[in-house]
Amino acid sequence: MEQKTIGILALILGILLGFIILAGCTDTQDSAGSPTVTPTIQTNRIVATMATPIQPVSDSEKSVVEANNRFALDLYSQLKKDPQYSGDNLFFSPFSISSTLAITYEGARDTTADEIRNVLHFQDNDSVRRQGYAGIIAGMNVEKTGYTLRTANALWAEKTYPFLPNYSGTAEQYYSAKATNLDFISKPENSRKTINQWVEEKTESKILNLIPPGGIDKLTRLVITNAIYFKGTWVKQFDKNNTHEEDFRTATGKTVRVKMMQRVDKDAVYNYVATENLQALEMPYAHTSGKKLSMLIILPKEDNLTVAENSLNYQKLLDIRKSLVSGRVMVYFPKFKLEMEYSLPATLGTMGMPTAFSNVANFSGMDGTRDLFISDVIHKTFLDVNEEGTEAAAATAVVMVPIGVAMDPHQPPPVPVFRADHPFIFLIQDTETGNILFIGRVLNPSGL
């Protein structure tokens, strides 16, 4: 009897051991019994692996993204109705401008700070804003992503001027903006060249002479700069052999000849949506890790760009993004290059922050006095869109001088056709957060 009991126990132990071994085997196999592998996505040139987990976006980063995007759309709206840019292409980097002004805001107080905060849509919570920018800047400067995306900030201070250590420390800690002392008083032209050289290096020589001759003089006390550079290839590149000259109807009604790229094969699958009045198309950039980036084009069905521009408010843009559906689209899109330059004091003043450019400005958080104001906000951009992808760069400089010299401030549906042969709006964005890195409109891709 005892031997029989021992035999039964041995049999039970054997069965349990078998289950354990079997469970161990299933850890390395899928339900079909095949070894598991990391899934990959084959693109034209790059194999994008999903093995690297995407870091979650923090609430502070979301707050900064929302603020940046609201500012982007506000600034676009202001520029498009400015007679100075009537009939012109537009292209700027809201993130470059908002980053530079965020560093400037760190030294603002009282009404000056209130106005900047309202125009930039910042939260009152300093920690949220600072942590948000720190996280976004770090995320944009990740290497080995399959594309190039980087941004950099810097402070350039008159070497004899006593700036507060707390201000420069905050700029470096949260915005990665290191301070460099220059001799603006004795060597303003050398100082200008030093700053411009930094911008040139950070933008792969795409932004040259950001600060023009005379933009820095012996009265300059501080220059705050940002540079942003992006170069990426399309996930679905265009065949150069399929690029042909076609007509483009400009905003004035004039027709110009442009080099029109096309992707109409069965693999031309994109995120797309069409409404009664417009079409939206998202063209992603290839990546191996890091953030997903894309270009979002908003094209009116007729030639009236106002229809598309009316969709440029925060909620409507969110709705467009949420409505995008993946499917085959016959895409016709022009090759084009843009180079733009802006001086923004009057524009920003009109938007609601005139005090920063006046004799009553309060930037005492920078130096403990009320002696400084913003004399200029300079912004330059570069863009090249072609069959392989996109190269874009921008730089911003905030120039500060002593008060006293202030200036005035069922059946498969038919394959949709997306033919951008008339004016359109476009954004280069972080697909995951929606952060708008660049935004613009093309009224005439030939630039004539």
Q: Is 4 a domain residue?
A: no
On whether both 267 and 199 belong to a single domain, the answer is no
On whether both 173 and 77 belong to a single domain, the answer is yes
**CATH no. for residue 364?**
3.30.497.10
Q: Is 419 a domain residue?
A: yes
pLDDT at res. 418: 87
Backbone phi, then psi, for 32, in 5-degree steps? -95, 0
At which residue do the structure tokens 């920690």 appear? 127
Q: Is 14 a domain residue?
A: no
How many domains are contained in the chain? Answer: 2
Q: Are 418 and 268 in contact (CB under 8 A)?
A: no
On whether both 119 and 218 belong to a single domain, the answer is yes
On whether both 153 and 67 belong to a single domain, the answer is yes
HSE value, Cβ hemisphere, 13 Å, CA-based, for 299? 22
Alpha helices (H) along 27-151: 59-80, 94-105, 110-120, 126-140
What letter would DSSP give residue 272? E
On whether both 68 and 151 belong to a single domain, the answer is yes
**CATH no. for residue 277?**
2.30.39.10
| CA atoms of 395 and 212, how far apart (whole Å) | 13
Q: Is 43 a domain residue?
A: no
| CA atoms of 277 and 58, how far apart (whole Å) | 35
**What does DSSP say about strands 325-328 and 90-92: parallel, antiparallel, or unpaired?**
unpaired
pLDDT at res. 1: 42
pLDDT at res. 44: 30
| CA atoms of 60 and 68, how far apart (whole Å) | 12
On whether both 343 and 329 belong to a single domain, the answer is no
Instruction: Give the range of the structural domain holding residue 342, as residue numbers without chain letter.
Output: 59-233+337-402
Give how far the C-alpha of residue 239 lies from the chain's centroid of Cα atoms, to the nearest Å. Answer: 27
pLDDT at res. 448: 54
pTM for the whole thing? 0.85
On whether both 263 and 304 belong to a single domain, the answer is yes
Q: Is 331 a domain residue?
A: yes
Q: Which residues of the chain have pLDDT under 70?
A: 1-55, 404-413, 447-448
On whether both 116 and 190 belong to a single domain, the answer is yes
On whether both 393 and 303 belong to a single domain, the answer is no
| CA atoms of 66 and 315, how far apart (whole Å) | 11
Q: Is 22 a domain residue?
A: no
On whether both 431 and 366 belong to a single domain, the answer is no
Q: Is 25 a domain residue?
A: no
On whether both 282 and 356 belong to a single domain, the answer is no
On whether both 282 and 417 belong to a single domain, the answer is yes
Q: Is 309 a domain residue?
A: yes
pLDDT per residue over 181-199, tens digit each? 999 999 999 999 999 999 9
What SS3 class is residue 360? coil
pLDDT per residue over 270-319, tens digit each? 999 999 999 999 999 999 987 899 999 999 998 989 889 987 889 999 99
Q: Are 150 and 96 in contact (CB under 8 A)?
A: no
